[in-house]
Amino acid sequence: MSEESRREVRAGIEPSLARLWRYALVLSRSRDVADDLVQAACLRAIERADQFAPGTRVDRWLLAILRSIWLNEIRSRRVREGAGFVDAEDVLTTDGAREIEMNITASAVLRAIGQLPEAQRETVLLVYGEGYSYAEAASALAIPIGTVMSRLAAARAALAKLK
Amino acid sequence: MADEDAELVALIDNELDEASRSALLARLATDERLRQRYDELRATSAPIAFSLQELLGQAPLERLRGAIPADGPVRRPPVLSAHGGLWQLAAGIAIGLLAAGAAAWVAASVGLLKEREDWRSAVAEYTGLYSNETFTPLHPDASLQAVELSAVGDKVGAKLTPENIALPGLRFTTAFMLSYDRAPLAVIAYVEPSGAPVLLCILADHAADAPMRSERRDDLSLAWWSRGGRSHLVIGHIPEQRAAALAQTIEKQI
């Protein structure tokens, strides 16, 4: 069982790297922190691979580990040290300026997502980026489904103003 | 208003139960203001999805791969008494090194098995680790596909595009680099509609040209050929005939 767990975890890391990094960036709004966060999450996953239940989704297990490290170790430490995070509203952006629907650019949408409160950014990422159902997001974030709904609605309402 | 937005967004996301959905649709049919709000909120769907997809393409994959520990706490079998001992040891080493890029893994496992020339064994072992869930969440848009393919194509000296790697019945999900015996190994991962992974592997090993051959190994089918100093392999949990047909298609395209 544990050998199988370790295999699945090792095999699941590589294809999940970009998505782990995106989650880390959306949470931290710092590219340096995102890199560290992904590295820490992968290391933790390898160390605790025995705890992974084979046959379940390793990508979501990895995302949950990353979130836990962010909440319990990195963000809390920054806050404790008084460092906080710089105003990083432009961290979420793209190099190009390709127009998408609504005649706005992906950069503008990402900038707007970057300005949302962390709870909304994270919920948007999980549901619209990672394809979580409302129930799955509620479970992952340990919040009621109604809170998932209100966060998504607030985020969409803010983005609808970009028009 | 906020509650109304939440309900409209849940409708857009197909998350309302049938009763709530029917009630809201009935209101939308008659309430112009509500309909307008629904349209405003719905118009954010594509930009959000598109923007988050764009973000994926910015991930510094090479740096992230380099930062993954090469040798995790993988316990080796203490005694190599069983017939499968060498396989187990090879597999243990394999898993320990997989995330680092698999070069050492492949060398170790193949060395132990004294099948150094058979890179297909290594890939077959590796492919067995992937499940229907491994690649299915990945939906790169056309621009991200082009970036990934161009990057791995450069590493093996092949021009790869979303068009020339397209295969009938398969959806491209991601492309990434491994290495085998110090030669760059590009992996292009597709999924079948069921989610089952099918891989196209391109190894820049300076091999002499060789015609296509195919075989079954356990429940995997393999089809391979060499051309232009590169060895190619199509592998997956598919019938052997299909692997051969996919290989013929891709051989003509790239």
DSSP-derived secondary structure for chain A: -HHHHHHHHHHHHHHHHHHHHHHHHHHH--HHHHHHHHHHHHHHHHHTGGGS-TTS-HHHHHHHHHHHHIIIIIIHHHHHTT------TTTS--SS--B-GGG-BHHHHHHHHHTS-HHHHHHHIIIIIS---HHHHHHHHTS-HHHHHHHHHHHHHHHHTT-
Contacts of A86 (CB under 8 A, 6+ apart): A30
Query: CB distance A113–B51 less than 8 Å?
Result: yes
Query: What's phi and psi for B70, nearest 5 deg?
Result: -75, -30
Residues B93-138: tens digit of each pLDDT: 333 333 333 333 333 333 333 333 478 887 887 787 777 877 887 7
**Structure tokens given for B57:** 């393409």
Residue from B135, B194, B173, B45 nearest A127 by CA? B45
- The answer to whether the pTM exceeds 0.90 is no
Q: Smallest Cβ distance to B134: which of A15, A25, A55?
A: A15
Query: CB distance A131–B137 less than 8 Å?
Result: yes
β-partners of residue B235 are B199, B222
Mean pLDDT of A125-152: 96
Element spanning B146, H or E: helix B142-156
Q: Does residue B77 register a pLDDT over 90?
A: no
- Alpha-carbon distance of B148 to B10, in angstroms, equals 34
Q: Does residue B76 register a pLDDT over 60?
A: no
Mean pLDDT of B183-202: 90
Mean pLDDT of B209-227: 91
**The pLDDT value given to residue B114:** 33
- CATH for the stretch B56-253: 3.30.200.100
Q: Could you count the other beta carbons within 10 Å of the beta carbon of residue B63?
A: 13
pLDDT band at B152 (very low <50, low <70, confident <90, very high): confident
Q: Select the more confidently predicted residue: A99 or A74.
A: A74
pLDDT band at B70 (very low <50, low <70, confident <90, very high): low
**The pLDDT value given to residue B234:** 96
Query: CB distance A39–B64 less than 8 Å?
Result: yes
Top residue of A5, A66, A115, A149 to mutate, by most chain B CBs within 10 Å, is A149
**Structure tokens given for B193:** 């509609």
**Distance (Å) from the C-alpha of residue A15 to the closest C-alpha of chain B?**
7
Tell me, yes or no, if A58 comes closer than 8 A to chain B by beta carbon. Answer: yes
| Partner B, chain A 99-118, Cβ-Cβ below 8 Å | 100-102, 104, 106, 109-110, 113
ipTM for the whole complex: 0.86
**The pLDDT value given to residue B111:** 36
- Alpha-carbon distance of A89 to A60, in angstroms, equals 27
A98 in Cβ contact with A109 (< 8 Å):
no
**Distance (Å) from the C-alpha of residue B210 to the closest C-alpha of chain A?**
31
Residue from B55, B8, B48, B58 nearest A112 by CA? B48
Cα four-point dihedral sign A20, A24, A26, A27: positive
Query: CB distance A13–B74 less than 8 Å?
Result: no
For chain A, the average pLDDT equals 85
Percent of chain A residues topping a pLDDT of 90: 62
**The pLDDT value given to residue B208:** 86
**The pLDDT value given to residue A91:** 62
**The pLDDT value given to residue A45:** 94
Assign residue B218 a region: left if phi > 0, alpha if psi is -120 to 50, beta otherwise?
Answer: left
Q: Select the more confidently predicted residue: A138 or A85.
A: A138
Top residue of A52, A91, A109, A147 to mutate, by most chain B CBs within 10 Å, is A109
* Strand pairing report for B210-217 and B220-227: antiparallel
Q: Does residue A146 register a pLDDT over 90?
A: yes
**The pLDDT value given to residue A93:** 62
B10 in Cβ contact with B42 (< 8 Å):
no
Tell me, yes or no, if A159 comes closer than 8 A to chain B by beta carbon. Answer: yes
pLDDT band at B89 (very low <50, low <70, confident <90, very high): very low
Contacts of B61 in chain A (CB under 8 A): 17-18
Contacts of B220 (CB under 8 A, 6+ apart): B124, B127, B128, B235, B236, B237
Contacts of A157 in chain B (CB under 8 A): 5, 41
Contacts of A119 (CB under 8 A, 6+ apart): A151
**The pLDDT value given to residue B140:** 78
Q: Select the more confidently predicted residue: B179 or B183.
A: B183
Mean pLDDT of A9-19: 92
Mean pLDDT of B41-61: 87
Top residue of A156, A161, A162, A163 to mutate, by most chain B CBs within 10 Å, is A156
Residues B225-247: tens digit of each pLDDT: 999 889 999 999 999 999 999 99
Question: Buried (b) or exposed (e) across B205-228, using 16+ Cβ within 10 A?
Answer: bebeeeeeebeeeeebbbbbbbee
**The pLDDT value given to residue A78:** 64
pLDDT band at A102 (very low <50, low <70, confident <90, very high): very low
Query: What's phi and psi for A34, nearest 5 deg?
Result: -60, -45
Query: CB distance A150–B2 less than 8 Å?
Result: yes
pLDDT band at A81 (very low <50, low <70, confident <90, very high): low
**The pLDDT value given to residue B174:** 85
Domain boundaries, chain B: 2-43, 56-253
Amino acid at A104: I
Residues A26-74: tens digit of each pLDDT: 999 988 889 999 999 999 999 999 999 988 999 999 999 999 999 988 7
**The pLDDT value given to residue A97:** 43
Percent of chain B residues topping a pLDDT of 90: 39
Domains and CATH numbers, chain A: 1-88 (1.10.1740.10), 89-163 (1.10.10.10)
CA B89, B92, B94: angle at the middle one, nearest 5?
105
Q: Smallest Cβ distance to B10: which of A14, A35, A149?
A: A149
**Closest residue in A to B74 (Cα–Cα):** A6
**Closest residue in B to A38 (Cα–Cα):** B64
